[in-house]
Amino acid sequence: MTRGRFITIEGGEGVGKTTNVDLVRQVLEEHGCDVLTTREPGGTPLAEEIRAVLLGPRDEVVDPMAETLLVFAARAQHVATVIEPALIAGRWVLCERFTDSTFAYQAGGRGVDAQVVAQLAEYAHPGLWPDLTLYLDAPPEAAMPRIAKRSLDRFERERQAFFERVRQAYATRARDELQIVRIDAGRELAAVQRDIVGAVKRFLVARDDP
């Protein structure tokens, strides 16, 4: 059985990750891939409970390391019980957010040492990194109005400066990591989707997968 591939979709708030998961899934399925879609934090009952703990607004200030460890607790469970078994079974896993979000939000946004994030990642998902990451990039001021109508979670309530740091950290990752493809998500949806489809098809051809 050939191991499946691991694809992630990343980006700040309101850049259209959820909308585009369906599109990527469709392209992969047309190519004959058996696709599992999932998300982080979450993807298992325990990890979804941790998600609720992380996202729920609260009066107490959350310590950045406590936040980081909660994210990785959810991720370890998700990888061990959902992602790895699916990859081993030959399925393609399409995940909304993964450890690049931790580099962006906890390292970039909260100031946790990026090397500590890298070390925790090696404990939580040894040897597992995405084969392809679609990074949807848009300036926070362009994306935030798209979420303005939702009731805001603990992250969405952060100030503009926080989202600027998150974006900066994503930009650094996108520069340093070859599997990350940056897509300008500040444009009209049709143009964004054309680029997403192009990136996925190039990946499929380069991999020469069925």
Which residues contact ligand TMP by CB under 6 A? 13, 39-41, 55, 71, 96-97, 101-102, 105-106, 155
In terms of Cα–Cα distance, which of 32, 43, 24 is closest to 134?
A: 24
**d(Cα 100, Cα 173) in Å, to the nearest integer?**
7
**d(Cα 126, Cα 121) in Å, to the nearest integer?**
7
Query: Minimum distance from CB of 102 to ligand TMP (Å)?
Result: 4
In the complex with ligand TMP, the residue whose CB is nearer, 56 or 210, is 56
Find residue 39's DSSP bridge partners.
96
In the complex with ligand TMP, the residue whose CB is nearer, 105 or 203, is 105
In the complex with ligand TMP, the residue whose CB is nearer, 12 or 204, is 12
Query: Minimum distance from CB of 74 to ligand TMP (Å)?
Result: 8
In the complex with ligand TMP, the residue whose CB is nearer, 30 or 122, is 122
Query: Vertex 155, ends 93 and 189: CA angle to 5°?
Result: 55
In the complex with ligand TMP, the residue whose CB is nearer, 23 or 144, is 144
State both tokens at 92. Answer: 């393609």
In angstroms, the Cα distances linking 29 to 36, 137, 171 are 10, 25, 30
**d(Cα 199, Cα 81) in Å, to the nearest integer?**
29
In angstroms, the Cα distances linking 21 to 8, 36, 72, 135, 166 are 9, 11, 22, 12, 21
Query: Minimum distance from CB of 202 to ligand TMP (Å)?
Result: 26
Query: Minimum distance from CB of 37 to ligand TMP (Å)?
Result: 13
Query: Minimum distance from CB of 91 to ligand TMP (Å)?
Result: 21
